[in-house]
Structure 1
Amino acid sequence: MTVLVALAANLLIAVAKAVGGVLAGSPALLSEAAHSVADSLNEIFLLAALRRSRRPADRRHPFGYGKERFFWSLLAAVGIFVMGGCFSFFQGFEALQGGAKESHEGYVAGLVVLGVALVVEGVSLLRALHQVHRQSGTAGQGLRDPALRTVVAEDSTAVLGVALAIVGMVLHMVTGNVVWEASASLAIGALLVYVAFRLGRDAREQLIGQAADPELSDRMYALLEEQPEIDSVEELLTMQLGLDSILLAARVDLVPGLDSEEVEDVTVRIKFSIMRTIPEADQIFLDITDAPTRAARRKKSGGPAATGERGGA
């Protein structure tokens, strides 16, 4: 719902800014229009991410489609950079080179448009922040949701960008010097490029296989350590498969004396125990070894009592 609200707001604001920018010949207002168009396209990307990431796992994608969110968030970052940042730089440099009209006609209407945009973007930002607070308090997700994180970044940037455009237009009107408005356009471009870089970097980390949140990883490790049948946890690896899906792979040493059937029962019980406590850990793989038995076997054979040998379960 937050993405839909942001999309509707951005579409209306983009049209208003574009019309006002053309009538006023304002580079700052046109930069903000490009910013809103980029945001609108990005909201469409995010809607696609929300829909496609919910598809169930199949034979081609046995771990599901959760990473769709990260892919479409990466495209949204590219859209912010190309459509928003680059166009804003173009408008700023063109104004500095004398391409902008030295006219204040339509500037009052343009400032009114920016004032309305500031209010609308502010409301959208408050709604997004409210959802972040709600998710942080319930599911513990907060800004881990790439779609919500992108909306918050876009709305925050939009509020700041509109403020920069207003300052640039007002100073241009007061001083008659277009350099103020050109500087506002360049500042908006720099802001968008920075936001695009941050969002793109986060999406990249998730796409190449980022580990789960350290707090969750510590909880998983503690749960394994608490199991009476586990002698030690040799290694624990995690990867975020989606917003609500985590892969957990652990190599654990069991206490001695368990036969094969008991090992199988223990493995199943441990997996379900972890999944009940941490529902996001829905893909669990345990590599089972028996440390004392393995050490005794190596000692008998004269080999080093290393911990690299693995048993499977």
Structure 2
Amino acid sequence: MSAGGGTKAILAALGANAGIAVAKFVGFLFTGSSSMLAESVHSLADTSNQGLLLLGQRTSRRRATREHPFGFGRDRYFYSFIVALMLFTLGSAFALYEGIHKVEHPEPLTSPLVAVVILVVAICLEGYSFFTAMGESRKIKGDVSWWGFIRQSRTPELPVVLLEDTGALLGLVFALAGVGLAELTGDPVWDGIGTIAIGSLLGVIAIILIVEMKSLLIGEGATEQQLDTICTELAAGKVERVIHIRTQYLGPEELLVAAKLALAPNLTVAEVAQAIDDAEARVRAKVPIARLIYLEPDLDRQPA
């Protein structure tokens, strides 16, 4: 996937979260609701996160250097990992702390209607961001489930935005429920309970993102379908079979392929070189992101 779709989703989330963060904080000042404060910090963290994702896209486009000969494509994984950590620390930890404090020391809300109006508007804005991310993701998701897309995608930005927006929408529902129940029952403890629910939700999402981004940052290979296609294209022409193969994503749009190939016997040097060139061309035609291909020719020493 080109960065365009991811950038559109990030910008939609950035604009929505920046506006929502301001509105929520104003709502907290009017109401004193811990749910509103937790949601304000959550939206502020999300706004910062989108800025980091954009920074990662920009720095990943730097040219390769002698010190970094394979380029900087993994910057996008690094900044996505930082986003997951920020979601956990700024979002989850703060909300849990604030929620527990409010449960232990409940305080009555003032002007709860202001909070309800702001939360409903925020749900509309977050919904716009969420459906934008879903629309961009559908272009590359294929037939896999949404959970499968989040687990298997080698492009970090869209899964991050999808999970962030999902957490934001559910968090807003929890905040709305907390404020509403606190007003209906006259018991402000419900506001604290809603805040704890927000913190727990953000913690789960953050852990999922941390695990997935860590895996990408360490280095993941081609998908099963890509690997099958690569092996099929390599084992053609004068190539008798693939002896062994290793693949790794150097960035979301750059795949490294290294393989040892068994060639037909009695080939001249020129024929060996042509067979290798042809194999590379076949792979690139079917898997365009396989930009770096290193092939080692060998004789087939399989026992008869």
Note whether the superposition's TM-score is higher than 0.5: yes
The structure with the largest alpha-carbon Rg is: 1
Give the deviation of 1:135 after TM superposition.
3.2
Q: Out of 205, 213, 227, which is 1:217 matched to?
A: 227
- Tell me, which stretches of 5 or more residues in structure 2 are unaligned? 1-7, 143-148
Distance in 1, matches of 2:277 and 2:234, equals: 13
Aligned to 1:300: none
Give the deviation of 1:178 after TM superposition.
2.3
The answer to whether residue 130 in structure 2 is matched with residue 125 in structure 1 is yes
Q: Out of 78, 84, 99, which is 1:92 matched to?
A: 99
Aligned to 2:46: 39
The answer to whether residue 156 in structure 2 is matched with residue 146 in structure 1 is yes
The answer to whether residue 285 in structure 2 is matched with residue 276 in structure 1 is yes
Q: State the secondary structure of the residue aligned to 2:259.
A: strand
Letter in 2 for 1:134: K
Aligned to 2:83: 76
Distance in 1, matches of 2:167 and 2:84, equals: 13
Give the deviation of 1:147 after TM superposition.
1.1
Q: Out of 7, 20, 28, which is 2:27 matched to?
A: 20
Count of residue correspondences: 288
Percent identity between the two aligned chains: 33
Distance in 2, matches of 1:186 and 1:280, equals: 43
Give the deviation of 1:123 after TM superposition.
0.8
Give the deviation of 1:251 after TM superposition.
1.5
Distance in 2, matches of 1:135 and 1:240, equals: 17
Distance in 1, matches of 2:245 and 2:101, equals: 55
Aligned to 1:254: 263
- Tell me, which stretches of 5 or more residues in structure 1 are unaligned? 296-304, 306-313
Distance in 2, matches of 1:86 and 1:22, equals: 21
Aligned to 1:298: none
Which has the bigger relative contact order, CA under 8 A and spacing at least 6? 2
Give TM-score scaled by structure 2 length: 0.91
The answer to whether residue 217 in structure 2 is matched with residue 207 in structure 1 is yes
Aligned to 1:231: 240
After superposition, what is the alpha-carbon deviation per residue over 1:236-268, rounded to whole angstroms, capped at 9, x for unaligned?
Answer: 211111111101111111111112222122112
Contact 2:80 2:213 in 1 (8 A): yes
Distance in 2, matches of 1:205 and 1:241, equals: 13
Give TM-score scaled by structure 1 length: 0.88
CA RMSD of aligned residues (A): 1.6
Letter in 1 for 2:113: V
